[in-house]
Structure 1
Amino acid sequence: MDWTSPLFIGQFIAIVIMAVALGLDALSLGIGIGMKGIRKLDVLKLSFVIALFHMVMPLMGMFMGGYVSSLLGGVASKVGGVLLVLLGVHMVYSSLKGEEAPSLDHRTLWGTILFALSVSIDSFSVGVSLGMFSGDILLTVLMFGTVGGVMSIIGLMLGRKVGRWIGEYGEAMGGVILLAFGVHFLL
């Protein structure tokens, strides 16, 4: 492969733009979770899982690229929106209810998978679309995973700092961010 060819450069730029667009989910989710309070080790673990999902989901989508992209694209986006709305409502409810209401814990396996799935499910529909074109699969999944992981680290660390400034309202504000982002997906 010629790394300097206009075709490769154009493909690379398109993949970077898509990776950043898909990584914005991870950034905003990271801010929401980080505001709730998160340890640095959990930042790394959650970001790693998000990066992994940002690679696996589009890869699965690419393999299914021969199927009906338009049908799956809308459904995947709606499912991701519903998951984010539910997570946001739950976080707001938990913060208003106090310690009596158990919150979804990002440190548990189920919580980590649910968070990672909610921000990477749209990568599946993008993968379906990309699967219909001949492109560099390895470059695409590595770029999606790297950008998704880095953007989740940035979001989680930014959320941690903001969460310290606003104190006990951090979980509620994080929930509102997730809720707004989920509603945006649904509209």
Structure 2
Amino acid sequence: MDSNDLREMVSLLLLAGALGMDAFSVSLGLGMQKLRLKRIAIIGFVIGLFHMAMPYIGILLGQVISGRFGEWAELLGGLLLLGIGAQMFFSAFREQEEMLFQPAGFGLLLFAFTVSIDSFSAGLSLGLSQSKTLFVIAAFGVMSILLTWLGLLIGRKVRGFFGRYSELLGGSILAGFGLFTMFG
């Protein structure tokens, strides 16, 4: 392995960490819901799978799709996060009602898709630069799984400190991250 390959791998690992940080940030908010450890493990794996599939699709389509599509995908992802965060925030005021968003089934798939949008955009640009596809996919997946678990577990602990207000804080984090995704 020459120095250019090593530099490329280090750069890709840093990119994987940066892209996994959105999963970490959003997982902090989600972790403030009442989640069991088994659910936390499943959420981490599903987000990891999406962080592997989305850049792979992006890499495959990188030669075909223009940069404009990536901007629209980020806007859509930001809107979805904002909506989920707002719903979580306002549901904290209604004790007896069940949340519309649950991190299971379709809700989990939608959530994982939303936090993986930027991986798709990164995959588009990596597809243009002919990066090492297998390494990219593995790095993105592993990093996002680990950071998602970390965020969920920290959020779970913080929930105990904040009690009933944890949903307000969690919803605010998700909505804020959605706004940051759209405008930041």
TM-score, with structure 1 as normaliser: 0.94
Unpaired segments ≥5 residues, structure 2: none
What SS does the corresponding residue of 2:96 show, helix, strand or coil? helix
List aligned pairs for 1:93-132, cutoff 5 A. 93-106=90-103, 108-132=104-128
Query: Which 4+ residue blocks in structure 1 deviate beyond 4 angstroms?
Result: none
List aligned pairs for 1:30-69, cutoff 5 A. 30-69=27-66
Count the aligned residue pairs. 183
Counterpart of 2:73 in structure 1: which amino acid?
A
- Percent identical among aligned pairs is 36
Offset of residue 76 of structure 1? 1.5
* Conserved? CA contact 2:47–2:145, under 8 Å: yes
What SS does the corresponding residue of 2:92 show, helix, strand or coil? helix
What SS does the corresponding residue of 1:100 show, helix, strand or coil? coil
* Conserved? CA contact 1:36–1:171, under 8 Å: yes
Offset of residue 101 of structure 1? 4.8
List aligned pairs for 1:21-36, cutoff 5 A. 21-36=18-33
C-alpha separation between the residues in 1 aligned to 2:137 and 2:11? 13
Which residue, out of 17, 41, 47, partners 2:14? 17
TM-score, with structure 2 as normaliser: 0.96
Which residue, out of 59, 73, 77, partners 2:70? 73
Offset of residue 25 of structure 1? 1.2
Matched, 1:85 2:87: no
Offset of residue 82 of structure 1? 0.6
* Conserved? CA contact 1:69–1:125, under 8 Å: no
Match of residue 129 from structure 2: 133
Cα RMSD for the two superposed structures: 1.1
Counterpart of 1:167 in structure 2: which amino acid?
G
C-alpha separation between the residues in 2 aligned to 1:85 and 1:42? 22
* Conserved? CA contact 1:31–1:158, under 8 Å: yes
Unpaired segments ≥5 residues, structure 1: none
C-alpha separation between the residues in 1 aligned to 2:135 and 2:147? 18
Offset of residue 102 of structure 1? 3.2
Counterpart of 2:44 in structure 1: which amino acid?
S
C-alpha separation between the residues in 2 aligned to 1:53 and 1:60? 10
